[in-house]
Structure 1
Amino acid sequence: MPVLRRLARPLLASAFVTSGVQTLQHPEAVAPMAERVALAIADHVPGLPHDAVALVRVNGAVHVGAGVLLALGAFPRLAALALAGSLVPTTLAGHAYWQEDDPAKRMQQRIHFFKNLSMLGGLLIAAADTAGRPSLGYRAKQAVPAR
């Protein structure tokens, strides 16, 4: 299992690192599509800029940073959670297939939507993976004496 874990994390992370780099280089290409979702999030999260291009850059930076951490196995659970959290708005903004009128575009967006859901599942598994060690919750329960 350790060999599989060491191989799976970089494979999962690779999609985020490559797309994050592309987004950081050309945020204006993605900003119009992301604007509706990004600005709605900015309305509810204090401190976030109310600018779609800046928010797209932040998302790209999260993808690169957390993707690299996940690939290297550094803070893999935290990195996977960060990627999972950023993947939800990315998917809703970029692959809203239900809004497409053209059947071919609708099918393409549906494929990307469900691909992202599959990646979300992989990230959730990675976030829950304790590498064979007991979870923090379990260790906390063991540390408190029973009454």
Structure 2
Amino acid sequence: MAVTRLLARPLLASFFVINGVNSVRHAREIAPQAAPVTDAIAPLAHRAAPQAPLPQDPAAWVRTNGILQVLAGLALAIGKFPRMAAAVLLATLVPSTAARYRFWEAADTHERSELQNHFLKNAALAGGLMIAAGDTEGNPGLAWRARRAAKDARREAGHLARSAKREAKLVKAELT
């Protein structure tokens, strides 16, 4: 593993582990901020997975989001399923950013500036997570492997077709 990955993954993950722990510990305090987002997400989640035991109140959603951030952050930090962990962290970052840093609603300029800085910090983290989610560590990704398999199958089909034609000509020559 490259030294940059060895250092970058834990550094990126550290924010999410700490943020997730804080979300779990202070879910009741964060819940009022999260309520507009959780109220919009909850019906969609229930429609997408009607049988799943999904949280009902905003505090439970905050706690669930925090637990996901801790677990995925730890997985990213130690390098276990890093692409999936980064994708999960990205999925948890979007609603939490929309819930906590609604700078466009702030009336006070200082508060707006603070919220906007946090919003942009989270946007930068999202960019890092996108890079981490797509990082194949130099190995071919699934899309490349699929294209390569299709190319190999076409080439093999061509070889088989040419071989079948040759065999057919030989059989025809023997029969005549």
Q: Residue 39 of structure 1 contacts residue 50 of structure 1 at CA under 8 Å; is this kept in 2?
A: no
Structure 1 window deviating more from structure 2 (51-60 vs 132-141): it is 132-141
2-side partners of 1:64 and 1:49: how far apart? 18
Structure 1 position 117 matched with structure 2 position 123: yes
Cα RMSD (Å): 1.1
Bigger CA radius of gyration: 2
TM-score (norm 2): 0.81
Identity in percent: 47
Hey, which bits of structure 1, 4+ residues long, moved more than 3 A?
none
Describe the SS at the equivalent of 1:116.
helix
> Partner of 1:25 in structure 2?
25
- Figure out how many residues of one structure are paired with residues of the other and give that number: 147
Structure 1 position 139 matched with structure 2 position 124: no
Give, as a single letter, the amino acid of the residue that structure 1 aligns with 2:68.
V
Deviations 1:86-117 (A, max 9, x none): 11111111001000001110000000000000
> Partner of 1:7 in structure 2?
7
Structure 1 position 103 matched with structure 2 position 109: yes
2-side partners of 1:65 and 1:43: how far apart? 25
2-side partners of 1:13 and 1:29: how far apart? 24
Q: Residue 21 of structure 1 contacts residue 60 of structure 1 at CA under 8 Å; is this kept in 2?
A: yes
Tell me, which stretches of 5 or more residues in structure 1 are unaligned?
none
Describe the SS at the equivalent of 1:101.
coil
Structure 1 window deviating more from structure 2 (39-48 vs 93-102): it is 39-48
Deviations 1:54-97 (A, max 9, x none): 10011000110000000000000000000001111111110010
